Each structure stands twice: as C-alpha cells, then as structure tokens.
Amino acid sequence: MTTQLRDLQTPCLLLDLDIMARNIARVQTAAQRLGVGLRPHVKTPKAIEIGKELGGGIGPITVSTLSEADVFASAGFNDILYATLLSASKVSRVEALLAGGCRLLSLVDSPVAVAQLAAARRGARPLPVLIEIDVDGHRAGVRLGDAFDALAALLIADSGFTLLGAMSYAGASYDIEPDARAVLAERHRRALVAAGQRIAALGGQPEILSFGSTPALMAAATLEGVTEVRGGIFVFQDLFQAGIGACTLDDIALSVLSTVVGHQPDSKRLWIDAGGMALSKDRSTAGRSFDARYGLVTAADGRRLPLWVADVHQELGLVESIDGTPIDFGSAPIGGQLRILPNHSDMTAAAYDRYHLLRGGQLVGTWARHNGW
C-alpha cells in the first residue's frame, strides 16, 4: 500500500524531488557556463543520496562539520573540503579520515592555528589545507597582503602541511542588491586569482581556488582562474533566498508537514502541531520587506494559502492570515494538514532525522539526514 501524506506523523519534513532536481540542474548549468567545477556544500541536505544527486554520483563536496565528513567518507566520497576553520582539538579526526583514503581539505587562517595543528599532528601524512581569505569582511579569513604571504610561506615550508590553494566565502552576497552581486563576485574572483599567484610566487602549487555562496556564483559574469564553486542552499532554497531574489517561491523544495489541532472561535487564528522545534526559530526574514514571520503556509498539495505562522510555542504554531482578516477555516479544518515553507532550510531541516520524498506529488520513500558534530 502506498503511503499517503495522511499516513505520516506530523510534524515531519517533506522534500519535493522534482523541485530539487530543477534547482540542482540550474546550478550545474551555471557552473558549466562559467567553466568551473562544482563542489556542492552538503551542510544543507546532510544526506548521502542528495550528495550523489548534486554531483551526478560521487564527486567533490564541501562539509561544515567533521560528522558530515565521516558520514560522506563512509559512503565513498573521497574529496571533501571541511569549510570551517580547523582547530587542533579536531586534528585526530582529520587524520583518521586521511588515513582512510579521503582527501580531506582543511581551512586555516593564522600562523597560531598552524603551529597548534602542527603540534597536534600524529600521523606521517601531511595535512592538506587551503587558506581562507577574507575578501568582504563577512566571515573568517586572512586578508591578502603580508599576513597572507607569511601564512602561505609557513605552510609551504612546513612538511607537515600541503598547501593546495585558497578559498573565500562571499557571504556578503546575501546582504546586497542583486545588481551588486556580480561586482562582489568579481572581487572574490580577483582575490582568489591573486591568492593563487602569491602561492605560486612563494613556490607552492595552487591547485584549488574555491569560490563560494550560491547567490554570488549565480551572479558571476566570469570565474576565470577559479577552479571550483561551492553552494549549498540552492538545493532546497527557502523564503530568505526567495526574498533576496535568488529564487522564486516555486523553487522551494523543502516544507514541514503539520496538522491543524485547533481553531480559535474568532476565526482569526488556528493552531498547528509545528512550533519552534519543528520550524526553528530562524527569523532571517525579520525586518525585511519579505518578512514571513515563522514561515508561509500552503495546503497539503503545495497550493499557497494567504496564511503564515505568526508565532510559535515549542510544539504549537500560531497561524494567522497575512492580511489580518479571518481565516477561511474551510481551507484548514481541524485534523487537516498544512505545509510550512521554511525561512532558512538549513535550520529547519536540522530538527529532523529523515526526509519524506515527494515525486509527482506522491510519497516515494525516505532518506536519512545526519545531524550533529
């Protein structure tokens, strides 16, 4: 017997495979157009099967935690960028992955960290590293100039490391108008190319120059000299991405299935069994023109309704009309199901250990999700 949405225990996570396939194809096409490899970031899906969809099988990936690295390496992924600055306390886990045959690339941005990593190493194998460079002041990284040169020279000189190149993250692309993203992308491209030139001038081999953020890569006019692009959120998209113009609402592949558990008699609100735990407390749309409170509401079949989740308790969501008028309870009866589009897919998905998969509107199975550190 086929499982129907009605058979699922709510709240649970739905993934529309048709939408996801379109999202992946769009970014793969963009990478091909730009002539660069794609190293998708699996911090968003954290699922082996999606990692394979992203790369057309086993390919290079980016991870945000060593737990993701462990899971994906066990599944055969052997070219992994761990895109969070490495600390000495995690070196033994990195060395275990390297010993298992995975080329796990780590990030460094300071001589102090490098000295600590060198002291923590136990294996004979050098640690493959990239230097994180700071281009837009948005995250970690070292600026190009003397500090970068000193760090690169240190890594080239120390046989405990193999300096393979540099990476940058264009996080500022989320905070600027679409028109400005191409300019930002070009700044990052130039910085990465310059970083590669400095590494080469110092005697190293800049094999990897890794460019990141979905909006930046979609906006880039050229990525000449860059070897790969990273992006994660594009696989699911979300209300924040739609709000900044990086996708449309129809591109959001992820939603939370919930059940209506109560109506308020004044018709102004209803309760669903998806609250802060099920939706996350992410309010990245707050204060924006596209503020969606805790998420926009659709019918179980995905049809949009003029409702949003106005507030959350731990396990209850308060649904109201976006325009403040009474809710048409006929579209949301007690016992009926509603779907909630997430503000930020990464945060919402984190509460779940599996995806329920939709294809052609039918449930076709589940995929496991791997959280934690």
Least Cβ distance, residue 29 to a copy of itself (angstroms): 26
> For residues 2 and 314, which CB has a smaller minimum distance to a copy of itself in the complex?
314
301: nearest Cα among 354, 343, 337: 337
Of the residues 16, 136, 251, 282, which one makes contact with a copy of itself according to CB under 8 A: 282
* 363 DSSP β-pair partners: 358
Determine how β-strand 228-230 pairs with β-strand 37-38.
parallel
Question: To the nearest 5 percent, what fractions of the chain are helix, strand and coil?
Answer: 35, 25, 40
Alpha helices for the chain (secondary structure H): 17-34, 48-55, 66-74, 91-99, 111-120, 146-157, 178-201, 214-219, 239-243, 276-279, 345-349
Binding mask 61-80 for a copy of itself (x = CB under 8 A): ---xx---------------
326 binds a copy of itself (CB under 8 A): no
Within residues 149-188, the interface with a copy of itself by CB under 8 A covers 171
Examine residue 11 and say whether the peptide bond preceding it is cis (omega within 30 degrees of 0): yes
Of the residues 283, 299, 310, 359, which one makes contact with a copy of itself according to CB under 8 A: 283
| Residues 354 and 368: beta-carbon distance below 8 Å | yes
281 binds a copy of itself (CB under 8 A): yes
96 binds a copy of itself (CB under 8 A): no
43 binds a copy of itself (CB under 8 A): yes
- Contacting residues for 322 by C-beta, under 8 A, at least 6 apart: 306, 307, 308
Of the residues 16, 136, 273, 320, which one makes contact with a copy of itself according to CB under 8 A: 273
Least Cβ distance, residue 282 to a copy of itself (angstroms): 4
Dist CA 166 CA 189 (whole Å): 11
> For residues 52 and 93, which CB has a smaller minimum distance to a copy of itself in the complex?
93
Per rule CB under 8 A, count of chain residues that contact a copy of itself: 58
63: nearest Cα among 31, 106, 99, 126: 106
Residues of this chain that interact with a copy of itself (CB under 8 A) are 6, 9-12, 43, 64-65, 84-90, 93, 109-110, 112-113, 116, 139-140, 147, 171, 259-263, 265, 271, 273, 276-278, 280-284, 313-316, 333-335, 344, 346-347, 350-353, 371-373
